[in-house]
Amino acid sequence: MLEASHHYFHQAADVIGLAPKVREILLTPNRVIKVEIVEEADDGQLMHYTGFRVQHNNARGPCKGGLRYHPTMDEDHAAALANLMTWKTAIVDVPFGGAKGGIDCDPSQMSRFELERVTRRFVEQCKEIIGPTIDIPAPDVNTNADVMAWIMDEYSRHAGFSPGVVTGKPLHLFGSDGREEATGRGVMYALEEALRDRGGEISGTTVALQGFGNVGSHAARLIAERGGKIVAVGDHVGGVSNEAGLDVTALVAWATEHRTVAGFAGGDAFEGPEIITWPADVLIPAALEDAIDENNAADVRAQIIIEAANAPTTPEANAILHDKGVLIVPDILANAGGVTVSYFEWAQNIQQFRWELDRVNTELEKYMRRAYGSVREVAREKNVDLRTAAFVLAIQRVGRAALSRRSVHETIDLS
Ligand code: GLU
Domain boundaries, the chain: 29-173, 176-415
Cα(138) to centroid of ligand 1, in Å?
6
Q: Do domains 29-173 and 176-415 have the same CATH topology?
A: yes
What is the homologous superfamily of the domain 29-173 according to CATH? Leucine Dehydrogenase, chain A, domain 1 (3.40.50.10860)
Q: Which residues are catalytic?
A: 100
Cα(14) to ligand 1 centroid in Å equals: 28
Nearest-atom index, ligand 1, CA of 67: 1
Q: What is the pLDDT of residues 19-49, one digit of tens each?
A: 999 999 999 999 999 999 999 999 999 999 9
Low-confidence ranges of the chain (pLDDT < 70): none
CA distances from 224 to 29, 190, 258, 284, 302 (A): 40, 15, 22, 14, 18
Whole-number Å distance between alpha carbons of 260 and 251:
9
Confirm or reject: Cβ of 307 under 6 Å from ligand 1. Answer: no
Residue 269 Cα to ligand 1 midpoint, Å, equals: 32
Name which residue sits closest to atom 8 of ligand 1, judged by CA: 339
What integer pLDDT is reported at residue 224 of this predicted model? 98
Check pocket membership of 228 for ligand 1, CB cut-off 6 A: no
pLDDT in tens, 138-165: 999 999 999 999 999 999 999 999 999 9
Cβ 138 under 6 angstroms from ligand 1: yes
pLDDT at residue 407, rounded to an integer: 74
Residue 338 Cβ inside 6 Å of ligand 1? The answer reads yes
**SS3 letters across the chain:** CHHHHHHHHHHHHHHCCCCHHHHHHHHCCCEEEEEEEEEECCCCCEEEEEEEEEEEECCCCCEEEEEEECCCCCHHHHHHHHHHHHHHHHHCCCCCCEEEEEECCCHHHCCHHHHHHHHHHHHHHHCCCCECCCEEEEECCCCCHHHHHHHHHHHHHHHCCCHHHCCCCCHHHCCCCCCCCHHHHHHHHHHHHHHHHCCCCCCCCEEEEECCCHHHHHHHHHHHHCCCEEEEEECCCCEEECCCCCCHHHHHHHHHHHCCCCCCCCCEEECHHHHHHCCCCEEEECCCCCCECCCCHHHCCCCEEECCCCCCECHHHHHHHHHCCCEEECHHHHCCHHHHHHHHHHHHHHHCCCCCHHHHHHHHHHHHHHHHHHHHHHHHHHCCCHHHHHHHHHHHHHHHHHHHCCCCCCCCCCC
Q: Which of 58, 60, 85 to mutate to test the pocket of ligand 1 (most atoms within 8 A of CB)?
A: 85
- Ligand 1 centre distance from Cα of residue 59 (Å): 18
Q: Determine the distance separating the centroid of ligand 1 and the alpha carbon of 313, expressed in angstroms.
A: 18
Mutate to test the pocket of ligand 1, among 69, 143, 179, 183 (most ligand atoms within 8 A of CB): 183
Cα separation, 340 vs 161, whole angstroms: 23
Cβ-contact 114, 41 below 8 angstroms = yes
Q: What is the pLDDT of residue 415?
A: 83
As assigned by CATH, the class of the 176-415 domain is alpha beta
| pLDDT score recorded for residue 330 | 98
Say if ligand 1 is within 6 A of residue 140 CB. Answer: yes
Probe target for ligand 1 pocket from 140, 218, 348, with the most ligand atoms within 8 Å of CB:
140
